[in-house]
């Protein structure tokens, strides 16, 4: 652990994480694992791809996260006619009323915010989807040869409907790789659904109270980078990622059911997500449990099943379970 941290500051920061979870829990009924995954992604400095059928509260989930962290929030509804300039911005011609001089000025698009909700991202065509790629990776937008920096922190949460639904376009692999985690939102339990209906039909909807400010969030993101991970666990995480590649793996389930494995960025994501998970669980060092817990959300969108797996109904979770069973720390 870096010497810049002291016990008092670490305790104060971890208390803010607990307050953040509690704040979101006041608005979101159930979905505890989903809330935890979103916070992990935020603390790791990545972006999240949230998938689920319409009506499960994905938009409310993202909005409550922005409210609880007191960050600027914007939403873009992706549609088939959405253009890249509708996201990143465009140049407009302005005339100075005094000098009558005309000049072009860059008009910022909705991507210039701290929390961007790209709602139903897979309803827009690939050209528009890719407009986010530079912003997500470089935290900047280049237009007409000029680079415009985005606010910090910058957090993209994209929701998508299951690809089987009509009117959706699969995200390109290069953009999928820019998302740190893929988070699946499932149907609530019966009791949770009853509570959800009651909360949303009785009185006005509540906002999530602010639990931390941007300065605290940036410190938490820096703290995550300094969480310890042993050399054996670093090697373990890397071996797990490498074992998803059919050409070099020894895991039979991968050879049989995977068409394309994960790249090196997956290893980076797995380690960062594991560090963030360790922190929110009150630990300053990564454990094997952290790596195992983050394996599916990190690799679910980076490893592609082949036709045989899809035809046989083999889920990615099943393949990764075999991977965890056969690859052990050394």
Task: Assess contact for 169 and 126: CB atoms under 8 A.
Answer: yes
Q: Which DSSP category does 151 fall into?
A: P
Instruction: Check residue 204 and give its pLDDT.
Output: 62
Instruction: Check residue 162 and give its pLDDT.
Output: 67
pTM given for the model: 0.87
Distance CA 136, CA 46 (A): 9
- Express each pLDDT in 274-303 by its tens digit: 999 999 998 999 999 999 999 999 999 998
Distance CA 275, CA 2 (A): 14
Task: Assess contact for 41 and 180: CB atoms under 8 A.
Answer: yes
Instruction: Check residue 55 and give its pLDDT.
Output: 65
Residue 148 in tokens: 């415009």
Buried b (16+ CB within 10 A) or exposed e, 73-94: bebbebeeebebebbbbeeeee
Closest CA to 271 of 220, 234, 231: 234
Residue 140 in tokens: 């900047």
Torsion angles phi and psi, residue 49, rounded to 5? -110, 115
- Express each pLDDT in 88-129 by its tens digit: 888 787 777 777 788 777 888 889 999 999 888 888 877 787
Distance CA 266, CA 282 (A): 24
Distance CA 219, CA 217 (A): 5
Concatenating the DSSP letter of every residue in 90-145 gives EEEEEE-TTT--EEEEEEE-TTSSSEEEEETGGGS-HHHHGGGHHHHHHSEEEETT
Whether a cis peptide bond, with omega within 30° of 0, leads into 153 is yes
Instruction: Check residue 163 and give its pLDDT.
Output: 59
């Amino acid at each position: 652990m870096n010497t810049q941290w002291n016990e008092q500051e670490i305790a104060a920061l971890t208390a803010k994480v607990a307050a953040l979870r509690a704040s979101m829990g006041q608005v979101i009924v159930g979905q505890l694992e989903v809330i935890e995954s979103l916070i992990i992604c935020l603390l790791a400095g990545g972006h999240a791809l949230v998938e689920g059928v319409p009506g499960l509260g994905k938009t409310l989930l993202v909005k409550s996260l922005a409210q609880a962290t007191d960050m600027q929030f914007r939403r873009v509804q992706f549609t088939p006619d959405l253009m890249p300039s509708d996201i990143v911005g465009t140049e407009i011609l302005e005339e100075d009323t005094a000098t009558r001089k005309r000049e072009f000025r860059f008009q910022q698009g909705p991507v210039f915010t701290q929390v961007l909700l790209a709602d139903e991202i897979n309803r827009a065509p690939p050209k528009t989807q890719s407009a986010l790629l530079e912003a997500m990776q470089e935290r900047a937008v280049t237009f007409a040869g000029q680079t415009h920096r985005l606010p910090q922190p910058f957090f993209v949460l994209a929701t998508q409907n299951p690809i089987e639904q009509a009117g959706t376009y699969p995200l390109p692999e290069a953009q999928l790789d820019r998302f740190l985690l893929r988070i699946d939102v499932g149907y609530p339990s019966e009791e949770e659904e009853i509570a959800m209906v009651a909360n949303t039909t009785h009185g006005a909807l509540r906002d999530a109270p602010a639990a931390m400010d941007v300065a605290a969030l940036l410190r938490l993101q820096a703290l995550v980078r300094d969480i310890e991970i042993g050399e054996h666990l670093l090697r373990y995480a890397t071996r797990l990622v490498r074992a998803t590649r059919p050409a070099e793996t020894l895991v039979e389930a991968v050879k049989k059911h995977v068409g394309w494995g994960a790249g090196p960025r997956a290893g980076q994501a797995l380690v960062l997500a594991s560090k963030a998970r360790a922190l929110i669980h009150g630990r300053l060092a990564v454990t094997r449990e952290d790596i195992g817990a983050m394996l599916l959300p990190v690799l679910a969108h980076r490893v592609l099943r082949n036709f045989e797996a899809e035809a046989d109904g083999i889920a990615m979770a099943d393949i990764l379970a075999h991977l965890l069973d056969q690859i052990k720390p050394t």
